[in-house]
Chain A
Amino acid sequence: MVTKNEIIEIIFQSIEDINNENGIDIAKDVNTKLFGSDSELDSILLVNLIVAVEENIEELSGKYIPIADERAFSSENSPFKSIETLADYIKTLLDE
């Protein structure tokens, strides 16, 4: 069973990869906004981050979960609001 803290660590690790690859400095903070006008990530960086998180989750759990499924975009409480909401959403997917 993967814990929420482990998922947050994976997201932080993925952000570090993205920061290093792109010469940027997205904050590794659970409140960091991932999507919307007040987010530091543009759409390509968000795609990069999601891909990195999916890969790292697969490495840890052996389970591939496409994060951007239809629920992610139909949900009133978008999982991309912040790192915390993304971690909660991934936890839900992994526990299914």
Chain B
Amino acid sequence: MNNDINPLKPIILITGSSRGIGNYLANYYLNRGFLVVGCSRNDCDINHENYNHIIADLSNEEEILNVFKIIRKEHKRLDIMINNAAINPAILNVAFLPYKTIQNIYAVNVFAPIMFCREAVKLMIRNKFGRIINLGSMATKHEVPGEALYTSTKASINAFTRVLSKEVASSGITVNVVAPSVIDTELSKAINKIALKEVLSRNAIKEYGDLVDVSNTIDYLIKEESKSVTGQIIYLGGV
């Protein structure tokens, strides 16, 4: 655990940092000199003096609150939060969706980011500065059959983001959605390759996206100068 409270280093919280986009972003911001707090259900392979990893089940309210208890204790503040963690456990026709699956995906993809936003705003509001990025999906534009459940969770986050941005704008906090194109991660590997190709064919850019596309967009949104960019849903890949 890192006890260094350095006001010069931005403090960034990234959910789902043990793999995929979250793991990339954690490493990316460590290389940029940020203090990174990551959390996920599993341990993480990042070993860096400026990295704190907190194991937390994001479907558990107490464990989410504990993440913020640690941040308050160790760092006293939070500058940036990236709600990255998401699951897509079943690509199924709505007629076959088990209730338990609906509950699980909403717990991680909707309830958890809302809770993270709630607690992050409380930390940011006192400093009158904050940048919140919620990861979205091009699924909300493409409306692919079999993806109704996952798509509905991401559409929920889009709406939540837009309303939250209006609530916290006067406190210097911006809230935006970055919706990547298909990126080669474990989440996308679980989806049928032919279906992915068909969806990508609808974009202006028909190839897979790169991780740097995501960090590049987030870099822009978290800049102090981007104070008027809020409540936006930025689709990558020309969706």
A binds B: yes
Chain A contact residues, CB within 8 Å of chain B: 21, 44, 47-48, 51-52, 54-55, 58, 64, 66
Q: Which residues of B contact A51 (CB under 8 A)?
A: 122, 125-126
Q: Which residues of B contact A44 (CB under 8 A)?
A: 125, 170-171
What are 21 contact pairs spanning A and B, CB under 8 A?
A: A21-B126, A44-B125, A44-B170, A44-B171, A47-B121, A47-B122, A47-B125, A48-B125, A48-B126, A51-B122, A51-B125, A51-B126, A52-B126, A54-B122, A55-B72, A55-B126, A58-B72, A64-B65, A64-B69, A64-B72, A66-B65
Closest beta carbon of chain B to A90's beta carbon, Å: 16
Considering the chains assembled together, what is the distance between the CA atoms of A39 and B126 in angstroms?
Answer: 21
Count of residues in B whose CB is under 8 Å from the partner chain: 9
**Contact pattern, B 91-132, Cβ under 8 Å of A = 1, otherwise 0:** 000000000000000000000000000000110011000000
Closest beta carbon of chain A to B68's beta carbon, Å: 8
Q: Which residues of A contact B125 (CB under 8 A)?
A: 44, 47-48, 51
Closest beta carbon of chain B to A83's beta carbon, Å: 20
Interface centre among B122, B170, B171 (most CB of A within 10 A): B122
Q: Which residues of B contact A52 (CB under 8 A)?
A: 126
